[in-house]
Amino acid sequence: MVLSRTADNLFWMARYIERAESMARDVGRRMASLLPDPVGAASEWASTIEAAGREASFQARFDVANEASVIRHLVRYANNPSSIVASLGTVRSNARAVRTALSADVWDAVNSPWLETQALRDEDFTTEGLPRILDWVKERSQRFGGAVANTMLRRDAYWWVRLRTLLERAENTARLVDVKYHVLLPRAEGVGGLHDDFQWATVLRAVSALRAEHWVYHDRLDALRVAELLILRSEMPRSLRSCTSQARYYLWRIRDGSPGTTSTAFIDDTADMAADDISVTPFAGSGSHQSPSVAMALALEESLQRTTVEEIFAEALHEYLTEFTSATNEIGFEIRREYL
Amino acid sequence: MVLLTPGPFISAYYEQSFQADEMGIELVEGPDLMVDDGYVHKRTTRGLRRVDVVYRRIDDAFPDPLAFRADSMSGVPRLMAAKSLGNVTIVDAVGTGIADDKAVHRYVPQMIRFFLAEEPLLENGPTWQCGNVDDCSHVLDRLPELVVKDVNGSGGYGLLVGPHSSRETIAEFHRKIVSAPGRLIAQPTLSLSKCPTFVESGVAPRHVDLRPYALCGNGHDGNIDVPLVPGALTRVALPAGSLVVNSRQGGGTKDTRAVDQ
């Protein structure tokens, strides 16, 4: 049990560091695909803005989506709450309000990147400087994850951090897949072309999954396989299914509230790696872990287990992903109603 | 038990979160608490939980907007009502702030003689209360040597350190004393001890002062008991030569331990 405000601050902290990382990954994806682009560079940059769900705030400031304006808006602009610089500030101020709930290592992992953002200069935001900054953001976010995993007590504060990280990660993966699908492949006959291979490869690289794809499928890239990997494969740590299963697990822990046993502490650690192995509740039969948010997360998880990628494509990928995102949003609202 | 803080935006926040950490208690802000049916509760992810002891680190005027300043955002409505019902103990009870009134300094030896019929064991720092006519003329004569403080002042604001001040500042305090003598006290400029301190240029001597902690409450025998905590807080003035140690003036802290009685 933690103060509701503490849970709320931990929620924001975890959400925004995850958001900074996925923003860095997505902007990095775009930087990496700076090859002569038959579709036109503008649509690429527009898709980056769209993946970030920031069209409205972007259009209010800029006419044209190009490298300079997108970098300013998504990386640097302090008034865009989702920009990397603003996110790291939000992370830090939320962490500061709950310092006593964090280990010293976790605090340091959120405080030092914020201090480092204060020292950034104009040249860090140029085509040459940016890749270094994006790597730095990813590295800092992973250091945060490492500090959380290695030093936090397996109690409420930890569960709240993990829960929000996973929900945010699921939403980010969904957005990334969605944008690549409906922005870049509006025409059915385009599926499978060389250009698409290249596009999908950049998507996979954005979530560090290109190698995973080769290991899982031993085959040429195609939209179906990529979508399956990022949506349905439980061994893929950023897939919707994996994130949903793990999030549901931490919701259970929060609901149950007991410090648990050595074996649950072990599952807490390994939940990241094997969502499948935790599909059985460690609190079987008690019923105390049931709540509307848990039920919603379970329903979402079960639908991800049942569905095949062929069914998703037959129904329309974009609609599927939109439904997924609104389901995770609903879970977020329900968590808020139950606990915060 | 909880530690009630005004929040992360004040200079003592780090210290408060450190204290809460060391004590293993929750650091709460006013909105985290509520009073229901005369009892204090904290809002948690598992609903309301009873709170028995509140260690108060917010100013005297702010703990309860219904009892004191109505614009208090950091307080808890009806906290004082719960306190009068005996349902919560407030450490640093409301009203202890009277000891912060610097005019009290002058009368401490008299209070000891009056209430305890004893002679003070420790000498009091000489204090002149400018509201007293004799004291006042003495102070005005020797202003450049003295430290002058506002009786309601805290945080190292609005004070004069005579030997370190310009003629203009001294003249300004002269005017202040003449216009509102009751609001000011004066003391000799004490030569505070120095302690090796890590500063930007390396290790250097800086002035320090000691803040002991005295707890006041009912002892086991039911009589009032005032034990001293076997440890204390040392404040250090970080600018070279400064005698002002308050955290709001950039002062730091040092760990302090009593090694022998």
Q: What is the ipTM of this complex?
A: 0.71
Whether B138 contacts chain A with CB within 8 A = no
Quote the pLDDT of residue A63. Answer: 76
Phi then psi for residue B241, to 5 deg, are: 80, -15
Residue A305: give the domain boundaries: 154-340
Q: Among the listed ranges A255-264, A271-280, A289-298, B227-236, which one has the minimum average pLDDT value?
A: A271-280
Q: A249 and A214, same structural domain?
A: yes
* B55 neighbors B71 (Cβ within 8 angstroms): no
Nearest by CB to B17, from A7, A100, A254: name it.
Answer: A100
Count of domains observed in chain A:
2
- A159 has a pLDDT exceeding 90: yes
Q: How far apart are CA A335 and CA A332, in angstroms?
A: 5
Distance from CA of A207 to the nearest CA of B (A): 33
Which of A128, A152, A176 is at the close of a domain? A152
Helices A41-51 and A4-32, interaxial angle, to 10°? 170
- Averaged pLDDT of chain B: 88
Q: How far apart are CA B240 and CA B203, in angstroms?
A: 12
- What separation in angstroms does the CA of A110 have from each of A147, B21, B104? 10, 18, 45
Q: What is the pLDDT of residues A307-332, one digit of tens each?
A: 998 898 888 888 899 999 999 999 99
Distance from CA of B44 to the nearest CA of A (A): 4
Do A5 and B7 count as a contact with CB atoms less than 8 A apart? no
Q: A128 and A86, same structural domain?
A: yes
Which of A152, A178, A209 is at the close of a domain? A152
Instruction: Please give the structure tokens belonging to residue A114.
Output: 């914020």
Amino acid at residue number A41: A
The model's confidence at residue A277, banded by pLDDT at 50, 70 and 90, is very low
Amino acid at residue number B37: D
The model's confidence at residue A15, banded by pLDDT at 50, 70 and 90, is very high
Q: Among the listed ranges A30-34, A309-313, B7-11, B34-38, which one has the minimum average pLDDT value?
A: A30-34
Q: What is the pLDDT of residues B53-95, one digit of tens each?
A: 999 999 888 888 888 888 888 899 999 999 999 999 998 888 8
Nearest to A2 by CA among A254, A250, A267, A261: A254
Domains of chain B, CATH where assigned? 2-94 (3.40.50.11290), 104-188 (3.30.1490.270), 194-257 (no CATH)
- A274 has a pLDDT exceeding 80: no
Instruction: Give residues with Cβ within 8 angstroms of B63, minimum separation 6.
Output: B4, B56, B72, B75, B76, B79, B80, B90, B94
Give me the residue label for tokens 């025409």.
Answer: A187
Interface residues on A facing B, Cβ-Cβ cutoff 8 A: 1-5, 7, 93, 96-97, 99-100, 156, 160, 254, 257, 339-340
CA angle at A102 for the pair A97 and A106, rounded to the nearest 5°? 110
Instruction: Give residues with Cβ within 8 angstroms of A173, minimum separation 6.
Output: A207, A230, A231, A238, A239, A240, A243
Q: A264 and A319, same structural domain?
A: yes
Q: A253 and A235, same structural domain?
A: yes
Do B31 and A99 count as a contact with CB atoms less than 8 A apart? no
B201-220 burial: b if 16+ Cβ within 10 Å, else e: eeeeebbbbeeeeeeeeeee
Alpha helix (H) residue ranges in A122-270: 130-151, 156-184, 194-206, 210-217, 223-231, 240-256, 262-270
Count interface pairs A-B at CB distance under 8 A.
40
Q: Partners of B36 in the beta sheet?
A: B39
Q: A336 and A189, same structural domain?
A: yes
Q: A143 and A158, same structural domain?
A: no
Q: A290 and A324, same structural domain?
A: yes
Give me the residue label for tokens 């003629």.
Answer: B167
* A102 neighbors A136 (Cβ within 8 angstroms): no
Quote the pLDDT of residue B77. Answer: 92
Quote the pLDDT of residue B78. Answer: 93
- A289 has a pLDDT exceeding 90: no
Do A1 and B44 count as a contact with CB atoms less than 8 A apart? yes
Which of A152, A179, A202 is at the close of a domain? A152
Q: How far apart are CA B159 and CA B148, in angstroms?
A: 6
Q: A106 and A247, same structural domain?
A: no
The model's confidence at residue A272, banded by pLDDT at 50, 70 and 90, is very low
The model's confidence at residue A182, banded by pLDDT at 50, 70 and 90, is low
* A17 neighbors A170 (Cβ within 8 angstroms): no
Q: A164 and A140, same structural domain?
A: no
Q: A117 and A3, same structural domain?
A: yes
Quote the pLDDT of residue B94. Answer: 86
Do A2 and B7 count as a contact with CB atoms less than 8 A apart? no
- A57 has a pLDDT exceeding 50: yes
The model's confidence at residue A186, banded by pLDDT at 50, 70 and 90, is very low
- B154 has a pLDDT exceeding 70: yes
Q: A186 and A250, same structural domain?
A: yes
The residue among A282 and B163 whose pLDDT is bigger is B163
Work out the average pLDDT over A184-199. Answer: 56
Q: A181 and A87, same structural domain?
A: no
